[in-house]
Structure 1
Amino acid sequence: MNPLLKKITLLCLVLGVSLSLAAQTTYQTPPQSIADLFNAPATPSVSFNKDGSMMLILERSEAPSIEDLAQPELRIAGIRINPATSGPSRSGSFYNLKIKKTRSGEEIQITGLPQNPKMSGFSFSLDEKYLAFTQTEANGISLWVVDMATYQAKKLTEAIVNQVFGNSVAWMPDNSILIKAVNPQRGSMPKAPAAPAGPVIQETSGNAAPSRTYQDLLSNPYDEALFAYFMDSQLMRVSLDGSKTPVGQPALIKSMDISPDGSYLLIEAIQKPFSYLVPGDRFPYSVEIWKSSGEKVKTLAQIPLDEVRPTGFDATVTGPRNINWRADQPATLYWVEAMDGGNPRTQVAERDVVYTLTAPFSGEKQKLASTSLRFGGISWSDDSFAILNERWFASRTEKRSVINPSNPSQAPRVIIERSSDDLYNDPGDPIFTDNQYGRNVLMRKGDLLFMRSEGGGPEGSMPFLSTFNTSTKEQKILWRSQAPYYERVVKVLNADANEFVTLKESTDIQPNYWLVNTRKRIAPMQVTNFAHPYESIKGIKKQLVTYPRKDGLNLSAVVYTPEGYDPAKDGRLPVLMWAYPREYKSAADAAQVRGSKYTFTRLSWGSPIYWVTRGYAIMDQTEMPIVGEGDQEPNDFFIEQLVANAEAAIDHIVEMGIGDRNRIAVGGHSYGAFMTANLLSHSNLFAAGIARSGAYNRTLTPFGFQYEQRTYWEAPEVYFNMSPFSFANQVKTPILLIHGEADNNSGTFPIQSERYYNALKGHGATARLVFLPHESHGYAGKESVLHTLWEMDSWLEKYVKNRK
């Protein structure tokens, strides 16, 4: 040993200081049973054309390599940019495209696709004679189109599409395509200054500006220059022969939206000053109406910087917001304005007011409707019928009312008012169809709306299709999923809703699409035949179990056990419990069973189910409700209810004869990681914990977190008591911390794990901290995910399965 290191080691031993070694290791791979499951081929994605007569079968690319993730990336104004492509640095793509005829089952391969395909953004023209998509190339993003008569794809533009922010491709009624292109005159990317021109200064002058904790914000003038450079866009109209025509003037275009008749454009363009406190979607912006040729018609609004906003999830901005085109009219805009100054604590009769303005936009805005809660959108049908949606987070209330757009003086008629947490009594969401403008409007017959619901109940979800009478408020179920399947309607094919496509699955049956006709007495027809990707776990057992908490609250979880496992013969198993807490304002809602015992066992990159192949029992989707009714806030009881949830889950898995009480691990991701650290701080129930990408010190998120609306200064004891960092000295259970070094989620800065690990280390806990290079809140790189699975497996084997 080096003499100096030997002296330091001896000194540490004398002083009672432990050595903690930090090192970088090479990427590891988990046991073969886990690696094979992760590497299983991805099931294609599916989307439908307007009438459902054809399906797009989109074959997904595999997980990117760490080399892909390590490419240059800009993290500015809350967005992540690939500077080589003027597009997002992290996005999924597809490598193949097929067409399947829904009724005949005929499958057609699209020819002429790009080499090295990284396709995304598929959209049909209004007449569905063409299909557009974008292709990400090494130096940018190009526009492609498929002729649906020949099923041949061709490239329309070079790599000029700007996908840094918002939508970038939209069809015009004449089958030309409006794109947001990189401004041809933007020049070269700004170079970083050799030395700063001076200090970076922020200043406030008395206006309170509470803000949640955002990632990737601007931090200096160079960041500002980069943001302006990559947002700089020129709208262009592209014909099917590839010819391009500039539309309007270049701008920092945030969004573009074509009026239903194609005559006008709604353009939002970001303005200065930029902010170092909030992300780009809250920067100042102008809202302008252009003719489709690019001629400016009107500046509808100048939206100021959104830094100063009251606290609370029901707070909003002042002035116009949610500016959109009415789906049922050729060219009518609607938007909403807060009457309470955006402050939910202000008592007003009218919380929000909806206004409209019709082409040629020279008149005054007209009041359409008002709300008592916060505006939640409008579902349009025609000029005599629309559904106005409202919600209020603090009470978990949602309300839907029928309005008559042609008669604004007619009061809204409430048809549904309920708790958004009440799954058992959820009537569902309306089904939409396309109108003559190609826009989504309500599918209805007079007073009847067609709805689909998750169909929650004490036995789990059984989705259904129904009609809802908006006059009598009566619901009639037309079709419902039947055991032992979990089946849901994905596309209705006719006006009577007696022919539709479902997605059908069961515990060991891969989800596939079926054609169902309830009018004709014919058996449903299977349309797709996607293969089961996980042959090795076909025989595992899955159970949806329920059990009581000590205060009587009903809880549930999904339990997986290895193939052929028999508790009477094989004895008790080590257990991995995986969970994510959720806050409720009603104990009755919190007690409802969520999920289904008939869903297919699908493995995501972060799933705990991998370990059923390693001889563990898995408790997944373990309910961890935190309830605060009336004036009580859920988080005032977070710790005691969290521990009570865990005790009840452990007692049940043990009483089932499955789990070994002394060999149970708990884990979670994000807020589930926060939960895990709290359980290890305030109980000795577990053999080990696994916490991925969590936040552990709530004083670092002082203006609210998750569903907590109060600030640190309003409830300091809640922030202290809910912070695992505050109780790091109490952790006696081994804990594995994993975090992406490039975490982009609000509040879960990597420093959260770093400081929490230091606190644990300082108090002699058994802990391991793993930082994954180039990974954000969700891990994407193949090497990163496999290494994460290896870390988790090694931890579980050492501290749970083989616990002494």
Structure 2
Amino acid sequence: MLRRLLLLVVFPLMTMPASAQTPPTQSTWQNPPEPIVSMLDVDPLPAVSISPDSQWLLEFERRSLPPISELAQPWVAIAGTKLNPKTWGPAQEGFYTGISVRTLGATDSTPIYLPPEARIRNLRWSYDSRYLAFTLTQADGIELWVLDVAAAKAKPLTGPMLNGVYGTPCRWLPGENEGLVCKVRPQGVGQPPAEPTVPLGPVIESSQGRVAANRTYTNLLASPHDEALLEYYFSSQLAHISLDGEITLLDNPSLIRNVTVSPDGQWLLRSTVHRPFSYQVPLSRFPVRYEVLNRQGEVIHELVDLPLADDVPIAFDSVRRGKRGIRWRADQPATLYWAEALDDGDASVAAEHRDAVYTLAAPFDGDPREIWRSTLRFRGMIWGNGNIAIATEAWYDTRQVKNWAMSPDEPTAAPILLSERDFQDAYANPGQPVTQPGPYGRSVLMLNEANDSIYLSGDGASPEGVFPFLDRLHLSDLETERLWQAAGDSFSRVTRVLDNGAQSLIVRRQSPSMPGNYYQLDLAREAETTLTNFADPLPWYANVQKEIVRYSRADGVTLTATLYLPPGYNPDQDGTLPTLLWVYPQEFKDREVASQNTRPEHTFTRPGRDSVLFLLTQGYAVLSGPTMPIIGEGDAEPNDTYIEQLVASAEAAVNYLVERGVSDGSRLAIGGHSYGAFTTANLLAHSDLFQAGIARSGAYNRTLTPFGFQGEQRNFWETPETYLKMSPFIAAEKINEPLLLIHGAEDNNSGTFPIQSERLYEAMKGLGGTVRYVSLPAEGHGYRSREAVGHVLWEMVEWLDEHVKGEN
């Protein structure tokens, strides 16, 4: 049987008659019905940024959906990236369109004059909060601009010369009026290399028995011409750019991946990629050299030259060998730190310690100093005042996470375990340490005046609901003191602690009828000041009925979902509704953790882009995100019983809807995006609970992702039965309900190539199923253009009206 299934995978459509291969039809973009079509053109609420010194509040305007003509502009796809060859920036970039500034607490703001149709990106505050640097994308390149916040005036510092194809192009220097260090396009670079009209020869790859398994990446190098394009577009130079616009080149052109500035501003950490390149992994795995430069651009110290990392094991806790995560300590003037794997980077081998953390101080001519060893994989460090830092380690297989308080400058001091838990256990989450600008402007731990306590800000998930909090943690006895917690019929979260005594806070508060606005709280006086006053952009949804609901699976696991009902709906008077369940499963190792309630109830929820909540306007009920936990306790792997647990979760959700009176069970649809699309196809194949399905940008044949997917770390050859059983493509003959497949034609997400939808469509068509496949030109894994988003919503409404509501 296994051999027959493998043959089906390799030759899935060979037996289909030629008459089944009907050509695709070219359609025009369609718009969804009102009021959806009008809602799509409403601009979203602005984004907010508060200055590091908490004196200024900036609002950034955002536009509604971009036109397809913008997304369809030519791009170059190389080494796992997509870039715009005209601008030397990312392709299909997102951006802000305007800026306004005001002092914190003021009611009136000043709009900043910028060129028409501004495309604002790469926002970075100066360390003294006097300036905001940003880039402005023009038709022929990327400019560096700076906003003088107090004067409310912005000016360009460069022409269109920055290289923004990979990462942040500019970093502030910390000194007053010192300016920035940026990656700029090499001078006199000429035209990009032309693609040969005649192939120079075959492309040959080989492997000499070395294990080098990788997950399924997209947009990789595929030819020598791609290699030439990589060297052309990724080549850049470092330049010092003053606030007067004076430009000083610091080094020769190279393939600069990133540059960071030491806290004291005297040193630069530069990382550059180099040959040999790879056709199997993205640029982040290429050989990379880390060097320390002085302010004149001279190489002072080569820290490490890492080889090609195309052989990192696929297990989630496996990492690249050698130094990784190289950064500057935030609490020291010029000290680097990094981690190195002690288990050769292989999570599958037994080891007493997984990582060691080292530091190296300027002038970088001594030996690195080891400051800590982790028993799990090192995940990060939050620095304090030299006498304290908090280190985090975690391990995916056991879902374990630990936080340690340590004294980095006192090697003999034993670390103190602050917390240990399942990282999916929201009820036990103590919160994240609060930070503030340190002596060098970088974020460091906020300590109280006595330096014996830190602060923790958490989500506050509990069986009673989700109520964010702020705690003080006493380091002497690890006792916590609750300083503030959200309450009432709104949802608030701390965004800034303004003083070391934690008596003044900034919170963001929202409710079902009020968008997120910012408030300054004085805890001692029990007073508050309104900082923003945003209005509801889509007031139609103010009366939507939203409820967090809980119900049980047959095996006793408690499930959660968000139920949305149209305004004014009364089940006693209006009867049942056609209903869509929009799903996305998750793997767990503990059934109690899988049963937790982690959803805040009193949030402001408005649809955007292609949200299924738009269907409420058409008379549908929506059960959003019904939890479908796939649990594997002990040595059991969750996916070994994926289908059984998936169907059981869906049955529990349907039973709840029927018992509640929302549905009669005969007008139900299932849908999802990405892994939710995979779930949708599986539920149609292995149950008869639904009358139709919508699957967007999914993967359906797991043999096309043979080295792991989602939470599955085993490869296909280790567990072929699991891969085949989980693949709805293998069970395509069982999908006897109508299925709408939608996919971005340029999907660059790992594992969800458009061929996944193409092949499932061909299989269902060849087997006589009812299926429609919509391929969206120029769209990626998510859909962004006004035309595509409108069309997707039109397709969904039409499909559900015909196959669920029964109106077509």
**8 A Cα contact 1:743 1:749, kept in partner:** yes
Distance in 2 between the 1:653 and 1:483 partners?
28
Distance in 2 between the 1:350 and 1:544 partners?
42
Distance in 1 between the 2:164 and 2:148 partners?
24
- Name 1:116's counterpart in structure 2: 117
Is residue 2:621 matched to residue 1:617? yes
Q: How does 1:678-717 map to 2 (within 5 A)?
A: 678-717=682-721
Q: 2:588 aligns with which of 584, 587, 595?
A: 584
Shift of 1:61: 2.5
Distance in 2 between the 1:537 and 1:310 partners?
47
**8 A Cα contact 1:114 1:135, kept in partner:** no
Distance in 1 between the 2:456 and 2:120 partners?
33
Distance in 2 between the 1:42 and 1:450 partners?
33
Moved more, 553-562 or 595-604: 595-604
Alignment gaps of 5+ in structure 1: 1-14
- Name 2:256's counterpart in structure 1: 253
Q: 2:577 aligns with which of 556, 573, 580?
A: 573
Q: How does 1:35-434 map to 2 (within 5 A)?
A: 35-111=37-113, 113-174=114-175, 175-434=178-437
- Name 1:738's counterpart in structure 2: 742
Give the letter for the 1:260 counterpart. P
**8 A Cα contact 1:249 1:294, kept in partner:** no
Distance in 2 between the 1:243 and 1:286 partners?
29
Alignment gaps of 5+ in structure 2: 1-16
Q: 1:727-776: per-residue Cα shift (whole Å, max 9, x none)?
A: 00101010000000000100000000000111111111100000000000
Shift of 1:413: 1.6
Is residue 2:517 matched to residue 1:498? no
Shift of 1:249: 2.0
Give the letter for the 2:349 counterpart. T
Give the letter for the 1:92 counterpart. G
Give the letter for the 2:504 counterpart. E
Shift of 1:539: 1.2
- Name 2:485's counterpart in structure 1: 480
Report the secondary structure of 1:159's partner residue: coil
Distance in 2 between the 1:190 and 1:654 partners?
63
Q: For the structure 1 residues 803 and 129, does the alpha-carbon distance in structure 2 shift closer, same or farther, using more than 3 Å as the test? A: closer
Distance in 1 between the 2:23 and 2:702 partners?
28
Give the letter for the 2:112 counterpart. I
Distance in 2 between the 1:638 and 1:37 partners?
38
Is residue 2:572 matched to residue 1:561? no
Shift of 1:110: 1.9
Give the letter for the 2:466 counterpart. S
Shift of 1:147: 1.8
Q: For the structure 1 residues 16 and 390, does the alpha-carbon distance in structure 2 shift closer, same or farther, using more than 3 Å as the test? A: closer
Q: 1:503-560: per-residue Cα shift (whole Å, max 9, x none)?
A: 11111211111111111132x2221111101122221111110000011110011111
Report the secondary structure of 2:509's partner residue: strand
- Name 1:510's counterpart in structure 2: 515
Distance in 2 between the 1:114 and 1:270 partners?
35
Distance in 1 between the 2:116 and 2:183 partners?
24
Shift of 1:139: 0.4
- Name 1:7's counterpart in structure 2: none
Report the secondary structure of 2:724's partner residue: helix
**8 A Cα contact 1:74 1:82, kept in partner:** yes
Distance in 1 between the 2:737 and 2:725 partners?
19
Q: 2:467 aligns with which of 462, 466, 473?
A: 462
Report the secondary structure of 1:467's partner residue: strand
Shift of 1:94: 1.0
How large is the RMSD of aligned CA atoms in angstroms? 1.3
Moved more, 741-750 or 338-347: 338-347
Q: 1:765-797: per-residue Cα shift (whole Å, max 9, x none)?
A: 100000000000011111000000000010000
Q: 1:146-198: per-residue Cα shift (whole Å, max 9, x none)?
A: 12232111111100010001221111123311111011132211111111100
Give the letter for the 1:88 counterpart. P
Give the letter for the 1:470 counterpart. L
- Name 1:772's counterpart in structure 2: 776
- Name 1:630's counterpart in structure 2: 634
Shift of 1:803: 7.3
- Name 1:545's counterpart in structure 2: 549
**8 A Cα contact 2:354 2:376, kept in partner:** yes
- Name 2:663's counterpart in structure 1: 659
Moved more, 377-386 or 524-533: 524-533
Moved more, 348-357 or 674-683: 348-357
TM-score, normalised with respect to structure 2: 0.96
Is residue 2:767 matched to residue 1:763? yes
Report the secondary structure of 2:799's partner residue: helix
Report the secondary structure of 1:249's partner residue: coil
**8 A Cα contact 1:52 1:492, kept in partner:** no
- Name 1:10's counterpart in structure 2: none
Distance in 2 between the 1:511 and 1:38 partners?
20
Q: 1:191-225: per-residue Cα shift (whole Å, max 9, x none)?
A: 11111100000011111000000010000000010
Distance in 1 between the 2:587 and 2:773 partners?
29
**8 A Cα contact 1:622 1:649, kept in partner:** yes
Distance in 1 between the 2:469 and 2:104 partners?
21
Q: 1:257-296: per-residue Cα shift (whole Å, max 9, x none)?
A: 0000001000000110110000001100110000021011
Is residue 2:670 matched to residue 1:669? no
- Name 2:6's counterpart in structure 1: none
Moved more, 686-695 or 484-493: 484-493
Structure 1 segments of 4+ aligned residues over 3 angstroms from their partners: 15-21
Shift of 1:632: 0.6
TM-score, normalised with respect to structure 1: 0.96
Q: 1:273-329: per-residue Cα shift (whole Å, max 9, x none)?
A: 110000001100110000021011011100100101123001111111111111100
Report the secondary structure of 1:660's partner residue: coil
- Name 1:5's counterpart in structure 2: none
Question: How many residues in Structure 1 have an aligned counterpart in Structure 2?
Answer: 788
Shift of 1:495: 1.5
Shift of 1:424: 1.0
Is residue 2:454 matched to residue 1:452? no
Shift of 1:18: 5.7
Distance in 1 between the 2:340 and 2:326 partners?
10
Shift of 1:39: 2.0
Shift of 1:20: 4.2
Shift of 1:21: 5.1
Distance in 1 between the 2:327 and 2:287 partners?
18
Distance in 2 between the 1:338 and 1:727 partners?
42
Give the letter for the 2:574 counterpart. D
Q: 1:51-93: per-residue Cα shift (whole Å, max 9, x none)?
A: 2221110001322110001111111100000000000012211
